[in-house]
Copies of this chain bind each other. A is one copy, B any other.
Amino acid sequence: MQNIKLLMTPGPTMLPPRVLEAMGRQIIHHRTKEFEVVFDGLQEDLKYVFQTKNIILIFASSGTGAMESAVVNLFSPGDKVLAVSIGSFGDRFAEIASAFSLEVQKLSVQWGEAVDPIQVKNILDGDSENRIKAVLMTHNETSTGVTNDVEAIARLTRNSGRLLVVDAISSLGGIDLQRDNWGVDVVLTGSQKALMAPPGLSFACLSDKAWEACNRSKLPKFYWDYKKYRKGILKEVSENPPYTPAISLMSGQAEALKIIREEGLASIFERQARLALATQLGAKALGLELFPKQDISSHIITAIKAPEGIDIEKVRKIMNLKYDIMVTGGQKHLKGKILRIGHCGYCSMNDLIKTFSALECALAGAGWSVDPGSAVSAVQKVIFAKDLEDVK
């Protein structure tokens, strides 16, 4: 019997049945009224998720494409940026900026930590000639399970000439990020994480300040050219978007966003906090330690230290082959050192119960001393709790 694998990974995440149904619909043409309805609905629902009044640019690409799009649209060769990295996706943003000949000052934080806004403040304050044009950062670093305080960094940039460009690929729609209220200049995300659609779409939302930067940018661009996409969205030209869009994915994404609006962002953020706390307490009940400190531990993915003497890759393999549950290991120097449980997007407490049951069995199978049901009951306590403060 080939079972469907339950993906408890940082993405792609499981797809709701309504999204699958939308993906399986016959294609419609993109230069039609029917498509315009889908597109306009997507705009409205994406604005809700981005917490913005501004337009949302939609690309047929993975999230990395959106990161590249920000670099080539906002900057010119030689422009200096501060790239804050707390893990492998922060590193990637710095690499992209370097690939396009920006001068990159990199602030690397130890993996497992969040960036301290004071460090960023000191660097910006020390840049007396205002050479640093922008701060590039990751909202939620899936490689380490840490969430950065974007609001605090935005306070440093929003009343300055500097831009704040945030990779919110794994977080947007799962962790609060207020594009307009916080004054984040560019927010980038992808379809396949908290937005509950398949991978292949990416999104960008810009502040007015960021749009001004686009006017100064001299890096070459064509496929990613923000202004061309904007003209279509604002109906200044009839061709919207400029190139054939990923129609089926957009139909799937439109359906997923309807589900998100039905639940509401506040309820989703509360559910994510509850899933995270349950995962943290489940891990602790098994005698495992969190990789990051609890207060910076992500609400959509929990990184747990591999217990001493246990082959955590073997544990993952047992969970996958015997229990059809896929969790993730560590990347780069964290390989074999951590276990990462994603609980993002279309994910319920039932999924977490199954996951911890499997983790208990797999850990026991790998030689770790497990009191059967201990983690499951810790998760249940969080399910029962009226107020999360009572169980923290």
A329 to chain B, nearest CB (A): 10
- CB contacts (< 8 Å) of A200 on chain B: these are 60, 200, 245-249
Task: Decide yes or no whether A103 CB sits under 8 A from chain B.
Answer: no
Per the 8 Å Cβ criterion, residues 195-232 of A in contact with B are 198-200, 219-223
A103 to chain B, nearest CB (A): 14
Cβ A199 vs Cβ B247 within 8 A? yes
Partner pick for A244 among B25, B27, B60, B190, CB 8 A cutoff:
B190
Task: Decide yes or no whether A87 CB sits under 8 A from chain B.
Answer: no
- CB contacts (< 8 Å) of A60 on chain B: these are 60-62, 65, 199-200
1/0 per residue, CB under 8 A from B, across A158-193: the answer is 000000000000000000000000000000001010
| Given the contacts A222-B96, A223-B65, A245 and B26 also touching, CB distance less than 8 Å | no
How far, in whole Å, are A223 and B14 apart by their CA atoms in the complex?
25
How far, in whole Å, are A96 and B68 apart by their CA atoms in the complex?
17
1/0 per residue, CB under 8 A from B, across A60-82: the answer is 11111100100000000000000
Task: Decide yes or no whether A302 CB sits under 8 A from chain B.
Answer: no
- Of A30, A64, A190, A220, chain B has the most CB atoms within 10 Å of the CB of A220
1/0 per residue, CB under 8 A from B, across A10-32: the answer is 01111100001101111111101
1/0 per residue, CB under 8 A from B, across A21-58: the answer is 10111111110101000000000000000000000000
Cβ B221 vs Cβ A99 within 8 A? yes
* Listed stretches A1-9, A118-126, A361-369; interface member: A1-9
- CB contacts (< 8 Å) of A289 on chain B: these are none
A325 to chain B, nearest CB (A): 11
Per the 8 Å Cβ criterion, residues 96-113 of A in contact with B are 96, 99-101
How far, in whole Å, are A243 and B20 apart by their CA atoms in the complex?
23
Cβ A63 vs Cβ B220 within 8 A? no
Partner pick for A64 among B21, B223, B246, B326, CB 8 A cutoff:
B223
Cβ A27 vs Cβ B9 within 8 A? no
Cβ B198 vs Cβ A27 within 8 A? yes
How far, in whole Å, are A64 and B326 apart by their CA atoms in the complex?
35
Partner pick for A192 among B20, B242, B244, CB 8 A cutoff:
B244
- CB contacts (< 8 Å) of A64 on chain B: these are 222-223, 242-244
Chain A contact-residue range equals 35 or more
- CB contacts (< 8 Å) of A96 on chain B: these are 222
A76 to chain B, nearest CB (A): 12
Cβ B24 vs Cβ A5 within 8 A? no
Partner pick for A223 among B23, B26, B68, CB 8 A cutoff:
B68
How far, in whole Å, are A198 and B22 apart by their CA atoms in the complex?
13
A143 to chain B, nearest CB (A): 13
How far, in whole Å, are A243 and B62 apart by their CA atoms in the complex?
7
Cβ B20 vs Cβ A25 within 8 A? yes
A192 to chain B, nearest CB (A): 6
Closest to A22 in B: B24
Per the 8 Å Cβ criterion, residues 123-148 of A in contact with B are none
- CB contacts (< 8 Å) of A311 on chain B: these are none
A249 to chain B, nearest CB (A): 6
**A contacts, CB < 8 Å to B:** 4-5, 7, 9, 11-15, 20-21, 23-30, 32, 34, 59-65, 68, 95-96, 99-101, 190, 192, 198-200, 219-223, 242-249, 252, 326
